Structure formats: C-alpha cells, structure tokens
C-alpha cells in the first residue's frame, strides 16, 4: 500500500473541513454528499447514535446545530491519517464555535460565543467516507450555558488548546518509520497501564510521560498537568471506581502519523464496571458496561507530551439509567420555553 494514500485521504477530508469552516447551509448537504458514500455509517455520540448516510447527518445533527448557532465554524487543530485494523482512516480534533442564539437539545442559549470540542474519525474507501465515528463534547456546551446538571469536574474546565508545537494539522509526506515509533510509544504505555493492579510503580508512568505532560479530558472530567495532576484528578479516581477496566472486543483503530497517534473504537473502546467506589458522583452500581473514548496523543523526544481524550459521558450516564437531559431541564426550568414547564 502506497503511503501517499494517507495524504490523498487528508485531501478528501479537507473538502469537508472547508465546507464546515465557511458554512453555507443551502450548499452543505450537497457538500456532504460529495465526500460521504450514500450508505455511509454515521456513528455519533449520545443522543444521536447511529445515523444512515450523509442526509441523516445533515438533517439530524447539522441542521439543528446551525439553527442554534447560525454562524457555526469548524476549527481543526489535529488532522492525521494512517492505516489500522484493515482500514485507512483520518482523525480530526478541534472545536465547533459560534454565537449560541437558540436552544439546542434543550440547552438554553447564551447569546454569547460557545465552543464545543470534537474528535471525529473517518474511514475512507475509494475516495469516499464510508464510516464516521465521532464524539461532540455536548457537556462542554451545557457548562457554558450554566446548565451542567451533574457533579463538578475534578480537573480544570477550559478551552482545550491546540498542540503546543502548532503542527497538529499534518501536511508533510507520510513517514512510516516515524509513525511506527510514535505508535509503539503509546501502545507500550497503554500496555503498561494494564499493570495497575500490581501497583503504581509497575505502570512506569515516568518512562512514557513527559514531566510537563498535559492531559485534556472531556468536560465533566477536566484537564490537568504533570503526572501528579493526571494521577490525582483522573487516574486514581477512575481506577478506584473501575478496577476491572480494559479494552473492549470491538474493532479498534490505533494509528500513527508523525509525532501523533489516534485511537477510536465503536461502539466502545473500554469495558468497565463501576464496582469499588463512585466515579464523577456515580455510586458503585456494579453494572458491567462499555465506554466510548476517542483519543489523540502527541509525542516529543520519545515521550508523550500531550493527550486529548473525549469520553462520551452522556452515553455513560444513559447506560446507567441517568437522564442527564431531563436533569438539565429541571435545573434550567426557569429558562426553558413555557411549554416545557406549564
């Protein structure tokens, strides 16, 4: 397989990026049809779930979002490509931004600028997108609207930045040896994390993570710096709550491009049981479940310097029987349309 296919696939995704940067609503469906296969499988986060083809993506996801944020703009900070599990794939990370003018998913509008991070992965065959796997950080919008109804984050909530090196949109010719080295570093780290039951030292975090590492979690989890921050505000609470966590059996895509590594899996990336301790205010329900997580890592001088993580928290709560949207409507009832609370 020629390495040039990855640059060719990025060019296809560039058409989608351009369409969603300067959005013309009356042209958007035509533009989506130009890059997606007619029967493409669209895998979106909760509450959208699986959609059939570009028209469903347009009508179910983009039209309501554009109605709420008419000047919607897509800003990528990572665009990378590679081959994994028999597929050619492009991964994108960034923010949708604009003025939140009307309610969306019953989230009350702020009439101010809002930002919603996304991680989107596209499987490409014959120069068409045949599958999209994506998490939109909807809780981030809820927080900006003062409508987050669940527990506070342990980490810091902020506008997650682009890579410190400003090189996340990779345009250089594909370098297989560099991609392989980055992928090996990240997969070795993940394999080492599986030793958590043997004790903290067995995970050898110092071996893989840069002393000034940054870990950017979903809204509801938050961001943190240094290994101590990662340990205190994410890893320890996560492992206490879900000591049995592991990778799921679903098809997963781990791939490298330059100093970057991407990961996606659908319908889930992890299998967990909240069994020993609460997590994010969730009691130990002892219910086996799956958890979606779409991730990017940036390597630097043989260590991991930055990690962007999006967990589909709304799906996690849904699987546990918690209706976050209903709770949000209760919290914001005085700001909801009269018909919702009469």
Q: What distance, in Å, lies between the first and last C-alpha atoms of the chain?
A: 62
Residue with tokens 């599990």: 85
Q: Are 296 and 256 in contact (CB under 8 A)?
A: no
107 part of a folded domain: yes
162 part of a folded domain: no
Q: Do both 79 and 132 map to the same domain?
A: yes
The alpha helices in 22-147, defined as continuous H runs, are 25-35, 53-56, 63-68, 138-144
What was the pLDDT predicted at 176?
94
Q: Do both 103 and 180 map to the same domain?
A: no
Single out the residue in 101, 121, 144 at which a domain terminates: 144
56 part of a folded domain: yes
CA distance 179 to 173: 11
What was the pLDDT predicted at 198?
47
28 part of a folded domain: yes
CA dihedral 61, 65, 124, 17 (to 10 degrees): 170
Q: Do both 180 and 309 map to the same domain?
A: yes
Single out the residue in 144, 167, 202 at which a domain terminates: 144
152 part of a folded domain: no
What was the pLDDT predicted at 202?
57
What total of structural domains would you count in the chain? 2
Q: Do both 136 and 277 map to the same domain?
A: no
Q: Do both 268 and 323 map to the same domain?
A: yes
Q: Are 118 and 95 in contact (CB under 8 A)?
A: yes
Q: Do both 65 and 181 map to the same domain?
A: no
Q: Do both 119 and 246 map to the same domain?
A: no
Q: Do both 221 and 300 map to the same domain?
A: yes
255 part of a folded domain: yes
What was the pLDDT predicted at 137?
98
CA dihedral 332, 333, 336, 339 (to 10 degrees): 160
What CATH number corresponds to the domain at position 106?
3.10.450.50
Range of the domain at 43: 4-144
Q: Do both 133 and 187 map to the same domain?
A: no
Ranges in the chain, pLDDT < 70: 1-3, 195-202, 246-249, 269, 338-342
What was the pLDDT predicted at 1?
47
What was the pLDDT predicted at 260?
98
151 part of a folded domain: no
Residue with tokens 């976050």: 324
pLDDT in tens, 30-69: 999 999 999 999 999 999 999 999 999 999 999 999 999 9
What was the pLDDT predicted at 61?
98
259 part of a folded domain: yes
CA distance 240 to 224: 18
Residue with tokens 């989608």: 16
| Backbone angles phi and psi of 60, in degrees to 5 | -85, -35
What was the pLDDT predicted at 72?
98
Radius of gyration of the chain from Cα atoms? 20
Q: Do both 125 and 217 map to the same domain?
A: no
Q: Do both 198 and 302 map to the same domain?
A: yes
Q: Do both 185 and 316 map to the same domain?
A: yes
3-class SS of residue 176: helix
Single out the residue in 144, 168, 187 at which a domain terminates: 144
């Amino acid at each position: 397989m020629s390495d040039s296919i990855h640059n060719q696939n990025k060019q296809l995704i560039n058409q989608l990026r351009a369409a969603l940067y300067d959005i013309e609503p009356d042209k958007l469906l035509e533009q989506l049809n130009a890059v997606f296969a007619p029967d493409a499988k669209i895998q979106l986060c909760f509450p959208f779930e699986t959609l059939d083809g570009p028209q469903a993506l347009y009508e179910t996801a983009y039209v309501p979002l554009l109605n709420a944020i008419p000047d919607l703009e897509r800003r990528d900070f990572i665009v990378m490509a590679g081959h994994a599990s028999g597929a050619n794939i492009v991964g994108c990370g960034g923010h949708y931004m604009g003025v939140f003018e009307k309610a969306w998913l019953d989230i009350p509008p702020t009439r101010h600028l809002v930002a919603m991070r996304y991680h989107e992965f596209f499987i490409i065959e014959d120069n068409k997108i045949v599958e999209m796997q994506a998490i939109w950080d909807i809780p981030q919008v809820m927080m900006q609207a003062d409508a987050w109804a669940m527990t506070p984050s342990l980490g810091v909530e902020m506008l997650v930045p682009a890579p410190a090196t400003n090189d996340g949109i990779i345009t250089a010719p594909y370098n297989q040896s560099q991609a392989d080295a980055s992928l090996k570093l990240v997969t070795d780290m993940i394999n080492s994390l599986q030793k958590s039951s043997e004790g903290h030292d067995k995970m050898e975090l110092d071996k893989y993570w840069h002393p000034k590492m940054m870990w950017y979690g979903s809204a509801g989890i938050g961001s943190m710096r240094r290994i101590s921050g990662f340990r205190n505000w994410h890893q320890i609470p996560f492992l206490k709550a879900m000591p049995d966590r592991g990778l799921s059996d679903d098809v997963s895509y781990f791939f490298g491009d330059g100093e970057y590594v991407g990961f996606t899996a659908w319908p889930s990336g992890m299998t967990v049981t909240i069994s020993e301790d609460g997590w994010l205010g969730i009691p130990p329900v002892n219910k086996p479940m799956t958890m979606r997580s779409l991730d990017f890592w940036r390597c630097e001088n043989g260590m991991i310097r930055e990690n962007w993580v999006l967990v589909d928290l709304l799906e996690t709560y849904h699987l546990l029987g918690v209706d976050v949207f209903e709770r949000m409507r209760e919290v914001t009832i005085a700001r909801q349309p009269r018909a919702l609370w009469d």
